Chain A
Amino acid sequence: MQKYIAKRLITAIPVLFMISIGAFLMVNLTPGNPAELYVTPDATAEQIAATERALGLDQPLPIQYISWLGRALTLDFGNSFSTRYAVLPIVVSRLVPTVILMGSTLLFSYIVAIPLGIISARKQGTWIDNLLTGGSFVGVSIPNFFLGLGLIYIFAVQLGWFPTGGMIELGSSGGFFEVVHHLVLPVFVLSAFYIANMARYMRSTMIQVYGENYMRTATAKGLAEKTILSKHGLRNALIPVITVIGTDLPRLVGGAIVTEQIFQWPGLGRLTITAIQQRDYPILMAVTILSAVVVLAANLLVDIMYAVVDPRIKYN
């Protein structure tokens, strides 16, 4: 197993390298010159050229890439074009709120969705199942911005139960309960999709598991129904569910761009959108590399989880 993990980590290096080249090309070939954004509209060509030199944009692309790579290997992602601050602390400070938001969302979604999916499968074809299936259809279909604005209007503007946005009150230093209070609406909005998605998946997986011969064997042994479900059903149902969790995990970093915008959440999503608008290349590069690392890590984690849950899977 250790050998397998080591092998996977080593193969991740060229993958990250290729991704960095691709990202660098895409970022730099996007129309628009950052230097023009950071000078006054009446700046002369010399002033623009001077700004380009200051940002290092006057060098040929390969040279720019190599110097970026050299610094990135020491975890120095340069300074933001727009604020001039170092990129890494900015990204990390924005990463934390996003992970809080998406982490709570995924956790809440799974806690709600997995039992719902099981109930739906157990009661297949009954009105409960139809209600849950219909509900998940709505949950998957409803756009975040619509649900978000609707909830803000009802619960923040009309009822005043929750704040309209932000992570903490302006001027306060925060605190657990204050953050939770701010989390409720955005988590609810984001969860609509994840709950619906996971519940549907759990339902179909459980229906399949209930049809398996070993479940019949378990019944024939005279086990209680909840023992059959917990000891024989769930573990086998987990195997395909891990795949869904694996595809959800990378969204911890980049899954909430629209919702962050609506709720003024100080996360990576908003940072990314601003960075795109401002052609802030160093920030875009750092965010892209971070996402790539998270995707690769999630894939590895999923493969390890398979081996933990399913004894038939062995890696060499």
Chain B
Amino acid sequence: MDNTNVLEVKDLAISFKTFEGKVQAVRGVNFELKKGETLAIVGESGSGKSVSTKAVNRLLPKKNSIIESGQILYEDKDLLTISDKEMQSIRGNDIAMIFQDPMTSLNPTMQVWRQIAEPIIAHQNVPAEKAKDKAIELMKLVGIKNPEQTHKHYPHQFSGGMRQRVMIAISLACEPKILIADEPTTALDVTIQAQILNLMNDLKHKMETSIIFITHDLGVVAQMADRVAVMYAGQIVEIGTADEIFYNPMHPYTWGLLASMPTLDIHQTDLYNIPGSPPNLLHPPKGDAFAPRNDYALAIDFEQEPEMFKVTDTHYAKTWLLHPDAPDVTPPAEVIRRKAKYEALFTSKKISSQVGGEAIGSRG
């Protein structure tokens, strides 16, 4: 992984027109994707993770979605302003997508090899016969057995896991620089999930593709991500390396997510849950959107939206708790346990003095 950004999303805000009014689904999202890395975007349903990434490929319905502001920079081009024709040449070629539901994401009336060959024919201008060979090769690559025979099958003749492999083959057909995977394993059995994740990790290393991985499953994040962005109510509330998010989380929402994750190594009788439900984005609340559900909310949380506080060069969190004047709070036991591991890791590596997060981390 080097440090060049392949994609930069700046100040992205997206609304949807509904009968009740404008729903502000994404409210000022910033992130960048580095070459060869996997960035996981986590958050509960409706947090805006799918919407922000669909905007990258301009797959939002034209009819009712409005890009309020922002830029999506890819190779010095703003994907939000280029022509439809230009966007078409980028989709599937430079930026490919894998969707959540492999059962419905493939065309039921088209042989799978044709579906895999389509982007190759569209973008690389190769004859159908050659594209067919490439499609069969791709089927082999993603671990579909016997592609010489099965390439002529229709999607209904494959299992869910195999169909998701076909989806992956489609997305990799043109060796894209960016792969956006929108909950690719949510609809699959756990054993198949692991296979698909391993496959994606393998292929990422082979092809040096950068991946944006959208999920609400923190277990999957741990297996896949180099960096993690946590989204809540249309905003990124915390972003950092996977270690930083898992073992030194700063935002009370991230604490809540981690505390509500079942673990095997401690005796657990009942699982923590974050009280309440996400705010209605028709009328986003004043101040910090998470404040009403936040056990650690300060008075200011209800008044003023916090800024992104820097923890380290890679770690930022949007919570007033990081303000120098903020009182000390004790995070949930699960988070304290994680932070202890983190500190142990850093003292053993003897780099704790260089990491600004350490001082704050010890506050817990």
A165 vs B97: C-alpha distance in the bound complex, in angstroms?
61
Complex Cα spacing A227 to B167, Å: 19
Within 8 A of A (CB), among B88-125: 88-93, 96-97, 99, 101, 104-110, 115, 118-119, 122-123
Tell me, in angstroms, the Cα distance from A64 to B179 when the chains sit together. 77
Given contacts A217-B170, A222-B92, A311-B109, 20 further A-B contacts (CB under 8 A): A124-B63, A214-B105, A216-B59, A217-B97, A217-B115, A220-B57, A220-B59, A220-B91, A220-B96, A221-B118, A221-B170, A222-B90, A222-B119, A223-B92, A223-B118, A224-B88, A235-B110, A236-B108, A236-B109, A311-B108
**Chain A, residue nearest B156 (CB):** A312
Interface residues in chain A, defined as those with a beta carbon under 8 Å from any beta carbon in chain B = 124-125, 212-214, 216-224, 227, 231-232, 235-236, 239, 309-312
Shortest distance between the CB of B4 and any CB in chain A (Å):
24
Contact across chains for B63 and A125 when beta carbons are under 8 A apart? yes
What residues on B are CB-neighbors of A220 within 8 Å?
Answer: 57, 59, 91-92, 96-97, 99
B208 vs chain A, min Cβ distance (A) = 20
How far does the alpha carbon of A201 sit from the alpha carbon of B92 in the complex, in Å? 32
Closest residue of chain B to A223 (Cβ to Cβ) is: B122
Judged by a CB distance under 8 angstroms, whether B74 is at the interface is no
Instruction: Let me know if B154 is at the binding interface, CB within 8 A.
Output: yes
A221 touches which one: B104, B108, B119 (CB < 8 A)? B119
Known: A222-B91, A311-B156. A217 touches B122 (CB 8 A): no
User: CB distance B108 to A312 under 8 Å?
Assistant: yes
Q: How far is the CA of A225 from the CA of B106 in the complex (A)?
A: 17
Contact flags B63-100 to A (C-beta < 8 A → 1, else 0): 10000000000000000000000001111110011010
Please name the residue on chain B nearest to A234 by beta carbon.
Answer: B109
* Chain B proximity of A136: nearest CB distance (Å): 22
Can you list 15 A-B pairs, Cβ within 8 angstroms, ordered by A?
A212-B104, A216-B99, A217-B99, A217-B106, A218-B118, A220-B92, A220-B97, A221-B92, A221-B122, A222-B88, A222-B92, A223-B88, A223-B119, A224-B88, A311-B154
Q: Are A213 and B109 in contact (CB under 8 A)?
A: no
Q: How many whole Å from A219's CB to the nearest CB in chain B?
A: 6
Q: Which of B119-178 contact A (CB under 8 A)?
A: 119, 122-123, 154, 156, 167, 170
Distance in Å: Cβ of A218 to nearest Cβ of chain B: 7
A239's nearest neighbour on chain B, judged by CB, is B109
Residues of A within 8 A of B93 (CB): 222
For B107, the chain A residues whose CB sits under 8 A away are 214, 217-218, 232, 236
- Complex Cα spacing A221 to B98, Å: 10
Query: What separation, in Å, do the CA atoms of A124 and B61 have in the docked complex?
Result: 12
Q: Is the CB of B122 within 8 A of A214?
A: no
**Which A residue sits closest to B173, measured CB to CB?**
A221
Cβ–Cβ < 8 Å partners of A216 in chain B: 59, 99, 105
In the complex, which residues of chain A have a beta carbon less than 8 angstroms from the beta carbon of B105?
A: 213-214, 216-217
Size class of the contact patch on chain B: 20 to 34
Most-contacted residue by chain B among A125, A214, A235, A236 (CB, 10 A): A214
Q: Which residue of A lies closest to B153 (CB)?
A: A311
Rounded to whole Å, the gap between the CB of A207 and the closest CB of chain B is 12
Binary contact track B10-22/A, C-beta < 8 Å → 1, others 0 = 0000000000000
CA distance A310 to B101 in the complex (A): 20
Contact status of A224 and B59, CB under 8 A, knowing A214-B106, A311-B154? no
Measured CB to CB, the nearest residue on chain B to A311 is B154
Output the least CB separation between B270 and chain A (Å).
Answer: 37
Q: Please judge, given known A-B contacts A219-B91, A220-B96, whether A227 and B109 are in contact too, CB under 8 Å.
A: no
Cβ A310 vs Cβ B110 within 8 A: no
Across the interface, do A222 and B89 meet the contact criterion of CB distance under 8 Å? yes
**C-alpha gap A223/B258 in the complex (Å):** 41
Partner pick for B108 among A218, A219, A223, A310, CB 8 A cutoff: A310
A231 to B109: give the CA distance in the assembly, Å. 9
With beta carbons under 8 angstroms apart, the residue of B63, B104, B109, B123 that contacts A309 is B109
Contacts A221-B119, A222-B89; A310 near B109 (Cβ below 8 A): yes
CA distance A219 to B92 in the complex (A): 8
When C-beta atoms are compared, the residue in chain B nearest to A233 turns out to be B107
A221→B97 CA distance, assembly (Å): 8
Task: Give the distance to chain B from A309, nearest Cβ to Cβ, in Å.
Answer: 7
Q: Which 9 A-B pairs have the closest CB atoms?
A: A222-B92, A222-B91, A221-B92, A213-B104, A214-B107, A311-B154, A221-B119, A213-B105, A220-B97
Contact of A232 among B104, B110, B122 (CB under 8 A): B110
Residues of B within 8 A of A235 (CB): 109-110
CA distance A1 to B336 in the complex (A): 67
User: What separation, in Å, do the CA atoms of A222 and B109 have in the docked complex?
Assistant: 19
Tell me the bound Cα distance from A311 to B109 in angstroms: 6
Instruction: With a 10 A CB-CB cut-off, give which of A213, A214, A217, A231 has the most chain B CB atoms.
Output: A217
- Kindly report which residue of chain A lies nearest to residue B176, judged by CB atoms: A222
- Separation of A224 and B154 alpha carbons in the complex (Å): 23
Contacts known (A216-B99, A311-B156); A224 close to B122, Cβ less than 8 A: yes
Complex interface: chain B residues within 8 A of A214 (CB): 104-108
Which single residue of chain A is at the shortest CB-CB distance from B100? A213
Chain B, residue nearest A310 (CB): B109
Query: In the complex, what residues of B have CB within 8 A of residue A311's CB?
Result: 108-109, 154, 156
- B254-301 with Cβ < 8 A to chain A: none
CB distance from A96 to the nearest CB of B (A): 37
A236 to B118, CA, bound (A): 17
Residues in B with CB closer than 8 Å to A231 are 110, 118
Cα–Cα, bound, A236→B104 (Å): 13
Chain A's nearest CB lies how many Å from the CB of B177? 13
Please measure, in the bound complex, the distance between the C-alpha atom of A239 and the C-alpha atom of B59, giving whole angstroms. Answer: 26
Report the separation of the CA atoms of residues A125 and B17 in the bound assembly, to the nearest whole angstrom.
14
Tell me, in angstroms, the Cα distance from A4 to B110 when the chains sit together. 24
Contact with A along B326-346 (1 / 0, CB 8 A): 000000000000000000000
Report B233 CB to chain A, min CB distance, Å.
25
Q: Roughly how many angstroms separate A312 CA and B111 CA in the complex, as a whole number?
A: 11
Chain B residues within an 8 Å CB radius of A125: 63
Closest to A236 in B: B109
